[in-house]
Structure 1
Amino acid sequence: MGFSKLDKDPNEGLRLELHGLVDAYCDHHQNEPEGEDQERLALLELEDRFNEALLNTVALNYQNDSQDSSPLLPEVRQELRSRLRRSPVISLEDRDLEGRDPRESFFDRVLRGFQRLLGCLLRKWRALLAWLRRAVAAGMRAVCRAAEAVWSVFQDFCSFTAQALGFALQA
């Protein structure tokens, strides 16, 4: 990642890293690449780098917010990563090849691809956040049910103990 774990605000580090990734992408495209395949590969690489930067920042924010400063579990990171599999940017581009204006400049094509990539990333991260909210809500319901079961047993124990003490004192 492009910033240290010691930074106070991982989100600011993310902002800088994302800007750096976009700068590198634009620098790479200052000279037109050999063809559309290189454009697509560059977009796929950019998508992977965006996702890794975002996941790393999620992990840093989690660690900073976690009371015991424990890192994000590897299996949780892997689940998040699997839910962010590559978007179908290539297939989206292929559908537009027929309707593409031959007068469209290389830079317009690159910009359109980049905008599509950002749209795909936004949809994927929105879906990931919705999934996390559902998972956390389900997990919290399970924790509440477990706590309620323990509370019920404890209440019964207290009631039984109070009755037993009451009988013992009466005797």
Structure 2
Amino acid sequence: RGVADELITWLEGRGLVPLVEAHLARHMGGRSGIAAEEIPALADMAVVLGGDGTLISAARLIGAREIPILGVNLGSLGFLTEITLDELYPALESCLRGDFRVSERMMLRVAVERDGREESCHRVLNDVVINKGALARIIDMETLVNDRYLTTYKADGLIISSPTGSTGYCL
């Protein structure tokens, strides 16, 4: 909360309008917030305070909207949140000058279909885990890539990974 308060003050001092997610705003007391789902349509850039999991959640929320994400690592280890707290304000100054490099990442689109009907669809940055549930039973998973049949897996689960993050490096 303290980092977010300081960051908002810093941004406002430069004439910028920070969009604070509603849940965070409630914990900051007295600040108005915006529903997380509404922020990507309004933002020019996202600053994510946390760890890799927080950044992955933000990327899922942003989806296909191509806005840069600056990941600030507040934990001890971050593969995706590379900026440390000490580097936050110098990095933001560089961004405001237009002096930054974007590392574009592939996202996976995953759809669950039953009887030819799409039940849900998600965009993910890191990986997708498919399994039958609590009981480890063998299931058949028909797999398509770009709408072309690849194969049918018989397994108790399947991990499909993008090149991003620790799962991709493990492969």
Task: Provide TM-score, normalisation by structure 2.
Answer: 0.27
Q: Which protein is richer in strand relative to its size?
A: 2
Q: Which protein is richer in helix relative to its size?
A: 1
Larger radius of gyration: 1
